[in-house]
Amino acid sequence: MRSRRKPREPEVDPFYDMLFNMLIAFVFCFIIALLAMNPVANKNGDIPAKAEFIITLTWPDNDPNDLDLWTQGPSGETVWFRNRDADLMHLDRDDRGNANNTITVNGKTIVNPLRQEVVTVRAINPGEYVANVNYYENKDAPADETSDHPRAGQPVVATLSVIKVNPKAEVVFYGQATLTHKGEETTLVRFTVAPDGSVTNINTLPKSLVTTF
């Protein structure tokens, strides 16, 4: 009888195995590169914020008094708490002292001690910028021994910084002023931005912004 032998399976050439593995690796690298060139948008669909200058006003932590940052751009438009977007500038938040610095989490009230307002300049817009502080409201004035906030109604030290963001972080200005009473307005800095983004003519010559409104 003729024996029935199982047909021999064709031998696999190792060279083809190597080519197949190289192809898989190439496709994987291509997908990674494609994702890097086209990053996935975040869940909120937000576009990452871009900034050229960051102007920050701060005053002492836990101070109950309300200071406001007013910033005027090259076109003459002014950003303040009732006009938060103008001239490629944006005011992120109106910090009203103790009035809006608490949040409730799981039934527990949490107090944010930080006193800060920030204006972002989102593009190089040549011209002069003016940053003023206004003592908008003093709380529980005059302060007395029974007050929960012994600094209420007292002079407040305002600190302003101007940071140039690109191509690297650089402090353009840092200074302070003491405001003594409600309604007082002080020019903390004026500076001029050139078309190349450089900053010149830094000064503190007074210029009222609040009175124009």
Q: Are strands 199-203 and 108-111 parallel, antiparallel or unpaired?
A: unpaired
What's the whole-number mean pLDDT along residues 57-78? 94
pLDDT in tens, 13-45: 555 566 655 666 555 555 555 444 544 444 444
- pLDDT at position 132 is 98
Best CA proximity match to 65, nearest among 97, 112, 100, 113: 97
- pLDDT at position 24 is 61
- Identify whether the C-beta of residue 46 lies closer than 8 Å to the C-beta of residue 39: no
Residue 80 pairs in a beta bridge with 83
Q: How confident is the model at residue 46 (pLDDT cuts 50, 70, 90)?
A: very low
Best CA proximity match to 158, nearest among 25, 35, 69: 69
pLDDT in tens, 126-176: 999 999 999 998 875 554 444 455 555 689 999 999 999 998 899 999 999
- pLDDT at position 192 is 98
CA distance 138 to 169: 34
pLDDT in tens, 89-126: 999 988 876 666 666 667 777 667 789 999 999 999 99
What is the reported pTM?
0.70
DSSP 197: S
- pLDDT at position 23 is 62
Residue 205, pLDDT > 50, answer yes
What's the whole-number mean pLDDT along residues 179-195? 96
What's the whole-number mean pLDDT along residues 83-93? 93
- pLDDT at position 139 is 73
Q: Tokens in use for 160?
A: 């302003």
- pLDDT at position 48 is 45
DSSP 23: H
Q: 53-212: which CATH topology?
A: Lipoxygenase-1 (2.60.60)
Residue 213, pLDDT > 80, answer no
Residue 212, pLDDT > 90, answer no
| Residue spans per domain, the chain | 53-212
